[in-house]
Amino acid sequence: MNEHLNDVIQKKIDTIKQKKNIYELGLVTNVHDYILEVSGLENAAFFEHVVIGDKAEGYVNNIGRNTVTVVLAKRNAPVFVGDKVAATGEQFCAFYSPDSIGRIVDMFGQDVMRDQFFSNREKIPIETPPIPIMDRTSVNRPLYTGITGIDLLYPIGKGQRQLIIGDKKTGKTQIALDAIVNQRQDEVLCIYIAIGKTKKEVKEVYSELLSHGAMEYTIILAAFQDECAPVLCNTPSVGVTIAEHYMLQGMDVLVVIDDLKQHADNYREISLLSGRVPGRDAYPADIFFAHASLLEKGCQHKDGGSITILPITETKGGDITDYISTNIISITDGQIVLSAKNFEKGQKPAINYGLSVSRLGGAVQTKELKKLGSVVRRELLSYLESRAVFELANTEEMSEDLRQKMGVGSEILKRMNQYKFEARAPEEMVQLFQELVVVPE
């Protein structure tokens, strides 16, 4: 008996050593679009890679008592009830090639413009373990966007997570593109992650970056509007995993996620079709965890590299208090709020200076910029508050002191205006505002 048992164990060990292709097989019992219910996969693990012949590939999303839920990420042909499903025993992975820099790519290692796969693509995990707290250090280096309203008033540091939030067509993507173009001199690798955009919109972004020489150090990772929800949902994680790969090599990486509201909506769709219990606004209970685990990768690594994340979120009617927006605001280190009213008035960028925040603030600024920014911000916010009160008042009835302050505030706001891709260096910002305000020694 013992000899027989030893023989069985030895055969199992030999099989593992020889890496034979032995798969557990199951059967499709129910099909709902890209969601499958599969029986027979008793040893399946969460996020395990499964294959349905030449028809489709996906991953295990939920494990029940007698069945597992499989989400399809790639489909070449329709899947029917009764089709065989093979569990590979491996984690579902994405693909990446070092040749992706300067290209529009997808999570499967395909060059979208040329419609072909990279020959040197490699498997990469979609999600990686959290970066240990002991491997992180304080954020103290600035990441200049070239935008005065950000670099002077609400600065961003390398390793920071700064939300860009506002209504549709208020210039959210443009701020991110300005930031990418301004990294040309700083040797920062940029990854622009497009979620739910049309091919036309992504090509426009590509053309803008190409014309300003920014595609030399930029990867555009795209999940288009017509892609299935699993691809739209997993692409941001793939982008951050790529960023982590370069950060561990000592590089500074800027990641733009455009936008997280699309990601949340697709995450909700998968959860509802999988039969999970909905929570507030029909989002699953772990939507906060999904966004937190994605954005917490933004950090300054102790070995010198960093990941700066600029997530973009679209609002409706200027409401930044909806469920997803408040979640992301609580995760990030600050937010740049854009206003549709300011945009309509011709203020560009249309930043709402009263609602915008950078929790790091002067920690990533030079002493000169920190002092100047503090005074300019105080004068500007005071002007905006007074303007709301005295908007319809006769200026002749104001006191001389108030009239003078209103004049200074109005001039500050005017000088904050910038057209797209007209970056200002920190020295220019100092010269522009030093004559307007009194900076304490």
The active-site residue out of 359, 387, 415, 424 is 359
CA distance 26 to 39: 5
DSSP track, 50-61: EEETTTEEEEEE
Phi, psi of 298 (to 5 degrees): -70, 120
State yes or no: is 75 an active-site residue: no
> Chain centroid to CA 29: how far?
36
**Residue reference for tokens 């929800």:** 229
Q: Does residue 14 have a cis peptide bond before it, meaning omega lies within 30 degrees of 0?
A: no
Of 273, 21, 305, nearest to 188 by C-alpha is 305
Lookup result for tokens 């990441």: 143
**DSSP of 341-407, one letter per residue?**
HHHHTT-SS-B-TTT-EESSGGGGS-HHHHHHHHHHHHHHHHHHHHHHHHTTS-GGGS-HHHHHHHH
317: left (phi over 0), alpha (psi -120 to 50) or beta: left
CB half-sphere exposure, 411, CA atoms < 13 A: 12
Residue-wise DSSP of 48-92: EEEEETTTEEEEEEEE-SSEEEEEEEEESS---TT-EEEEEEEE-
- Token pair 């790969």 is found at 245
- Contacts of residue 251, Cβ cutoff 8 Å, sequence gap at least 6: 187, 188, 189, 305
Active-site positions?
359
